[in-house]
Structure 1
Amino acid sequence: MRTRLSYQQQDERPASSLAAALKRVGADLVLDAWTTGPGPDNSPASRSMASPSADTEDAVVLLWSAAAGKAWGEALAESGLPSGLTGTGEARLVPVRLDDTPLPPSLGSLRHVRLAGGTFRMTDATAAMIVHMSSTAVPAPAVRGDVSEDLLAISDFGDLGLFAACPGCGVSSDRLGSYTTVEHISDRALYLVICGACGWQDACDI
């Protein structure tokens, strides 16, 4: 699968980690680093229209973060989706949220991956889900919680897995948060996922 990974230069480290994972699951990857600042000509939309290679790619993976929001947010709000890219067409746009920066309205209706456990917990399951979102011909990796048609966010919690929804109450995985703690009785460092709606939780050793 031919894939362009677009990201702001400030996000070089997580981009490199994700690129390695995407290659391990079979993606034919082109890195597209940006150093531009805000402005109508400095968005993925303008790059897509200016780049002939955009029409030859199966997917564009867009890393979204505080840096991306600052550089692209206003331009994407004005221009909408990049030319030729949608969440369902032949060339698919797959946003990947590196932090809690919300997607702009023009991307808000797209199914995306949320790295809820932090970029240091990026896994091959994350990459496999991105590849699946880019091509439905590729089987989806296992996820926890019910997958509904109107599902937007798949949240990655590292060793605890991918979540479509809370296994306890079914609320969107956006309501799940990650925490670290120490269990003093057993002297174990734990990584937890907790539902902000019903209190459901799961944990694993760090």
Structure 2
Amino acid sequence: MPKLSAVHDYFLSHAGPDKDFVKGVGTRMQLAGREVFLDEWSIEYGESIPGAIETALRENEAFVLFWSEKAKESAWTTKEYRSAVSRFIDDDDRTLVLVRLDDTEVPELIRDMKWIDGRGGDPDAVADALMGMRGNDRLIAMQNTLSELGIRMEYFHGYGVLLACPKCGATVDKLAGWSETDDERDDTYAGARCTVCGWHDGGEI
């Protein structure tokens, strides 16, 4: 099987109740320049769901099974991983990866497989493990992706880095910094505000 660091296309198989965590992992992977198939993002309105999944299983380099009690109970997830096992297990150019989200017993078909521990609920750690990244590798990849896309970011004292308004999505040229001083406490506060929707946030500096 190929090293995970060489893989760029991932099929993320999961049960509905685990979607928020899986989306967090997928978002980090996309920002690092990886392609991920996630039903909510990847299937267009009007498109055949079984057809889209069939195509993704055929084309993606890695099948990632997020395994949990809910996944075990999901007939759809079971169908996906059984199909993936038959397609991936004997293909040297593809790989099947297991991410355990809890202590639910792993299916016998993949029980002897080395797995990624996602039981701590840390999407950063899982994303790094899936991409074969260590240290600051993912942050460097994310920076390169943003640079390639030409996305402008700006640092605001008291808040941090923004590339868009968290409320309405306005770009950074529509954001402005602010600062206020509390003379009684001798404290200074600063942050960012959106000139489009009025959103603002910040903290003590």
Provide TM-score, normalisation by structure 1: 0.48
Higher alpha-carbon Rg: 2
> Would you tell me which structure has more helix in proportion to its own residues?
2
Q: Which structure is richer in relative contact order (CA contacts within 8 A, separation 6 or more)?
A: 2
